[in-house]
Amino acid sequence: MTDFPRQIGGGRRAIGDIAPKLAALTDDVLFGDVWNRPELSPRDRSLITVAALIRGGDAEQLRFHARHALANGVRDAELIETATHLAFYAGWPKAMTAIAVLKDVLSEPSTNGTE
């Protein structure tokens, strides 16, 4: 067993009324199982997820996962550096979109001071 905080999904709360099966899979399989496997820390999973979302150009999911990454101990500067680094691998437009999302997320009062 690990000392990592248990990761919990919010699928039922966010979309359970319209897509109950997707919400259940999000909460029970993705967060309940995959996010809690001991081979990677929640912090590492967050950084990997942020990178994948930047690569895919998934701005709305990036917004959620950037907040989640901060809660899992990823620093502001690491999020910015991830987007900067991926500009050369994922594409400039995707990195620019990611930076705009991160700028919004990092300016939220609840995330200030996590540098």
Q: Are 113 and 72 in contact (CB under 8 A)?
A: no
* Dihedral in degrees, nearest 10, Cα atoms 10, 50, 96, 109: 50
Backbone conformation region of residue 73, classed left if phi is above 0, alpha if psi is from -120 to 50, else beta: left
Domain ranges of the chain: 1-39, 41-115
Q: Return per-residue pLDDT of the chain as tens, 115 residues.
A: 457 777 778 889 889 999 999 999 999 999 999 999 999 999 999 999 999 999 999 999 999 999 999 999 999 999 999 999 999 999 999 999 999 999 999 999 875 444 4
How far, in Å, CA of 87 to CA of 84, rounded? Answer: 5
**Reduced to 3 states, what is the DSSP secondary structure of residue 106?**
helix
Name the CATH superfamily, with its identifier, for domain 41-115.
AhpD-like (1.20.1290.10)
Q: Global pTM?
A: 0.87
